[in-house]
A and B are shown apart, each in its own frame.
Chain A
Amino acid sequence: MNPLSASSRRRERLIALALLALFMFCPPMLLMIDRLPGFLGWLPLYLFIVWAVLIGFTAWLVEPSKRP
């Protein structure tokens, strides 16, 4: 892959990740998680986990790889 298409592929992946994040943080998903049974509700735990995974993915996408 030439460098140009590699960077455009990275941009596409970031956009896809942003759309996924939007989906995960918005009502249809949110309402489903909120309605799960449990004494305190699972919403905060869900949000923190999705958030952490999102950060991990972003770091993986934007940081230059260590390969020579």
Chain B
Amino acid sequence: MRGDLVVIGTAFCYLALLFMVAAWGDRRAEQGRSLIGSPTVYALSIAVYCTAWTFYGSVGRAAQYGPSFLLIYLGPTLAMLLAPFTLRKMVRIAAQQRITSIADFISARYGKSARLGALVALMALVTITPYIALQLKAITVSHAVLMNYPLGADTTLDNERFWMDRSFWIAMVLAVFIILFGTRHLDASERHEGMVAAIAVESLVKLIAFIAVGVFVTFILFAGPAALFAEVAATPALMNSMRLDNVPGGATGWVGMLVLAFLAFFTLPRQFQVLVVENVDEQHLNRASWLFPLYLLLINLFVIPIALAGLLLGEGDPDSFVLTLPLSAGLEGLPLLVFIGGLSAATGMVIVETIALSTMVSNQLMMPLLLKVKGLYSGRHGRLADWLLNIRRLAILLILLLGYLYHALIGDSYSLVTIGLVSFAGVAQFAPALLIGLYWRGATRQGATLGLLAGFFIWLYTLLLPGFAQSGWLDEALIIQGPWGISWLSPYALLGLSGWDIYTHSLFWSMLANVGLLVGISLFTRPTPMEQTQATLFTEAMHPHLPTTARWQGQTSEGALHALLVRYLGEGATLRVFTDPHAILNDSEAYQRPASSELITRAEQALSGSLGSASASVLINSVLRGEALDMESVLTILDTTSQALEYNRRLEQKSQELARIGEELRSANERLREVDRMKDEFVAMVSHELRTPLTSIRSFAEILRDTPDIDAEKRQHFLGIMVLESQRLSRLIDEILDLARLESGRLSLKPVPVDLTHVAQQSIEALARLHDEQGLTFELQVEASPAMVLADPDRLEQVIINLLENARKFADAQQPNIRMRIYAYDNCFRLSVEDNGSGIPPAERENVFEKFYQLKLKEAPQIQGRPKGSGLGLPISRAIIHHLGGKLWAETSSLGGTAIQLELPRHTV
């Protein structure tokens, strides 16, 4: 059953199936019915993160280093949590600028620098080659394990001629496969919908295969997790296998690895390809931000049970436990499924990584070189689209050959995980230029270039070189004693920093140099106008009013632009840029017509999508006449836009403020009118009030003057009235003066501690005679004595007398009854004067404190027979009590009439 033919046949069938899925996806995309327009497919395509390294290596790492394998997946989980802040921005920029790869992204950010793009592409090539080698190794080893079990797998990797080596043929098959569906056309968007669909299928296959092994090992090989863990508990050697002590570098190593996985998730070329370049809708990031971590969790769920089971049963190399455990049980089908799962994981990674790398090689390395060759774009050559595709095809072949070479020459001495982590640390060097450049406008090309170079060389020295030494290519003394015996230069303990695990150590030094140089150099260099423009376009990408056109100030004809596009992109793509290309070809006038800046921008974007932004910029410049680029003006536009927005926002704020102030003014005006009206009324009333006694005095005086012989008794009576009326007049004038002083704040009160009860009693005595005359019932309830308050005694007495007088006037005419109560309330003393009159309706209660209010009452016909008063008593009383820090208000009395409440704060010595 487990014949070579069956295994290889199944593998080819599987690859053929993938190819069909990819072809179907591409056809659907051409028909405009995209297969990958679903957030779930997007999340599954991101799972290309889980390579053969996850599939076989996780178990190996868990067996050796305990729970540290989880860090490789917790880092991306954190990164996906931050997707709305980082990845969303990257996706939007990539869509605006037609970014084709991470090298293109970094190059575009730093002023479309061709050199920086080439540097990133080269670095990616160096760091990713071992990773591709790892996948080839995984396929070869898993195949060998499948074929040779229960013998060891070592026999396959021999030093025979390469055409006898299976890995070589695997690499070649994969190369053909990738060329077939990765470079079908040189599309403007550089999207590979078919590939993404195939990757999503592969992600499902590897997940199902891994969970199948997990379920088999946990529930069939052992009778459930409880039984497995019980057996582990009985094995002392495994007691500490899942503790932190087992993690290389302990807590420091833990954090280092978490950071490493976090950064690498953004910068691995294949992750950038599926996350950013292949993204069709930025809303898909929402679903992916939890579905992808869930995928990671599921694929890791059974890693520990499998690792522990493998260790218990002693099944050889931990990296192969996934295969050897079902094999040891004598199964046939499951190992084949596992092999296909591993193949899925490996091919998925190799496909995407190779396509990403080949795009970088053609756009960032080859195109700038080709453009330097004189005359290449001057019009003598035919269209270059086919050239580019061929370059890409060649690049795919070369990349896989390079991977094979690495695998054949060095890969044998490393475990899967080690190679993977070395690559991680390498690509993590892109993170500062990428992430800092995304948020800090001041990062410059020189800073990014030097930071990248420094980080890369430290990585080379502290991780890659020692790897060569361990493979026997270099003297191993280099690691232990340092070069030329200089111990502080030792690659694993640079400057004497020892005790950390090698990855954290390398990450620390390389990031220190990388970030340090990026920030430091940027602070002391001036960006070119192009850099400034691009920096603004990147950092302000989420700005809702970011202009994307009007970049080109130079002049060119539509015909020249058309010829350029046809030469590099072919007729099909040109058709999408020009709305009516036939008119241009047939009409010589249209051919000469100046191209609009929108058209130039569209043309540049189309070129960027296929050739990379740096080359597109060079090409467009080649057909522009005169002032090619005026970046300053773009910058001005950008600044003006953001200024205008800011200005707009402020204006809106101001107008709201104005509206509010207007409203306030209107109500103030309303109040003023009311006050003015009241003042007029007041003057009228005062005059009226003054005239009444004055008229009376005058008429009696006239009688006395005109009637000299009036009898003495009558004269006495008239004179008495005149005295009374003038007393009333002077009292009125006193009150008006009081009120004026109170209202203008000129009244001087002399507050001293007095006993409220004592003052009240004095006032009652002053009025006692009046009360007796009227036959009035007076009750006094003193519940607090002494009731010390701070007040002017004369004024206080004036107030109380006024209250008592009012009560007397308004009390029931037949059986007048007044009650005064003095009591403590909270931190105050209160004095209430109640009568049994008809009371004041609640709506009118505040009005009685208005000046001359009772006069107004008099005008109302339904309230009759009010005794006359000046109408100033209560307003004056309230003003005095307010001056003393108290309150005066009206309530309903329990006697049926009104209760006027006076409250003054308690005085404490």
Contacts and interface: CB of A to CB of B under 8 A. Distances in A.
B297 A51 contact: yes
Interface string B144-173: 000000000000000000000000000000
Contacts of B84: 11, 14, 62
B290 A62 contact: yes
A17 B81 contact: yes
A29 B699 CA distance: 101
Contacts of A25: 74, 78, 258
Contact of B81 (A43, A44, A52, A58): A58
Interface in B705-754: none
A11 B77 contact: no
Interface string B75-93: 0011011101100000000
B67 A43 contact: yes
A22 B74 CA distance: 10
Contacts of B82: 14-15, 18
B239 A40 contact: yes
Given A21-B77, A21-B81, A63-B287, A48 B244 contact: no
Nearest to A59: B290
Interface in B587-618: none
B886 interface: no
Nearest to B288: A62
Nearest to B73: A51
Contacts of A11: 84-85
Contacts of A14: 81-82, 84-85
A54 B232 CA distance: 29
A30 B254 contact: yes
Contacts of B241: 40
Given A11-B85, A39-B233, A63-B286, A44 B294 contact: no
Given A34-B243, A41-B242, A48 B81 contact: no
Interface residues of B, number: 35
Contact of B244 (A34, A52, A55, A62): A34
A23 to B, nearest CB: 11
Contacts of A22: 78
Dominant secondary structure of chain B at its interface with chain A? helix
Contacts of B229: 40
A41 B240 contact: yes
A30 B81 contact: no
A7 B255 CA distance: 31
A1 interface: no
Given A34-B243, A51-B293, A44 B70 contact: yes
Nearest to B244: A34
A44 B254 contact: no
A31 B258 contact: no
A27 B254 contact: yes
Interface in B261-307: 286-287, 289-291, 293-294, 297, 301, 304
A47 B289 contact: no
B242 A44 contact: yes
B242 to A, nearest CB: 5
A18 to B, nearest CB: 4
Given A27-B254, A47-B67, A55 B297 contact: yes
A37 to B, nearest CB: 11
Contact of A54 (B70, B244, B293): B293
B813 interface: no
Contacts of B67: 43-44, 47
Of B232, B238, B289, most A-chain CB atoms within 10 Å: B289
Interface in B169-223: none
A6 interface: no
B243 A55 contact: no
Contacts of B304: 44
Contacts of B291: 59
Given A11-B84, A47-B67, A63-B287, A40 B294 contact: no
Contact of B255 (A27, A48, A55): A27
Given A34-B243, A40-B239, A47-B67, A62 B77 contact: no
B85 A30 contact: no
A39 B230 CA distance: 10
Contacts of A43: 66-67, 242-244
B251 interface: yes
A62 B289 contact: yes
A51 to B, nearest CB: 5
Contact of B290 (A18, A44, A55): A55
A17 B85 CA distance: 13
A11 B542 CA distance: 14
Interface residues of A, number: 29
Contacts of B290: 55-56, 58-59, 62-63
Contacts of B254: 26-27, 30
Nearest to B70: A47
Contact of A27 (B66, B70, B251, B287): B251
A47 to B, nearest CB: 6
Nearest to A50: B74
A51 B238 CA distance: 25
B242 A55 contact: no
B255 A62 contact: no
Contact of A39 (B74, B239, B301): B239
Contacts of B70: 44, 47
Nearest to A18: B81
Given A34-B244, A58-B290, A47 B74 contact: yes
Contacts of B244: 30-31, 34, 41, 43
B198 to A, nearest CB: 26
Nearest to B294: A55
A17 B81 CA distance: 8
Nearest to A24: B74
Nearest to B79: A18
B251 to A, nearest CB: 4
A18 B81 CA distance: 6
A38 B243 CA distance: 11
A39 B243 CA distance: 10
A61 B364 CA distance: 40
Interface centre among B67, B80, B294 (most CB of A within 10 A): B67
Contacts of A44: 67, 70, 242, 304
Contacts of B289: 58, 62
B905 to A, nearest CB: 44
A44 B242 CA distance: 7
A14 B74 CA distance: 16
A40 B232 contact: yes
A41 B286 contact: no
Query: By CB atoms of chain B within 10 A, which of A55, A56, A59 has the most?
Result: A55
Contacts of A18: 78, 81-82
Contacts of A39: 232-233, 239
B310 to A, nearest CB: 16
A62 B66 CA distance: 33
B731 to A, nearest CB: 63
Which of A15, A62, A63 has most B Cβ within 10 Å? A62
A50 to B, nearest CB: 9
A16 B282 CA distance: 22
B76 to A, nearest CB: 12
Contacts of B74: 25, 47, 51
A40 to B, nearest CB: 5
A25 B294 CA distance: 17
Q: Which 9 A-B pairs have the closest CB atoms?
A: A59-B290, A58-B290, A27-B251, A34-B244, A41-B243, A62-B286, A18-B81, A39-B233, A44-B67
15 contacts: A11-B85, A17-B81, A25-B258, A26-B255, A26-B258, A30-B251, A34-B243, A41-B244, A43-B242, A44-B70, A44-B304, A47-B70, A51-B74, A54-B77, A63-B286
Interface of B: 66-67, 70, 74, 77-78, 80-82, 84-85, 229, 232-233, 238-244, 251, 254-255, 258, 286-287, 289-291, 293-294, 297, 301, 304
Given A21-B78, A54-B293, 8 more contacts: A15-B85, A21-B81, A31-B244, A47-B70, A48-B297, A48-B301, A51-B297, A58-B293
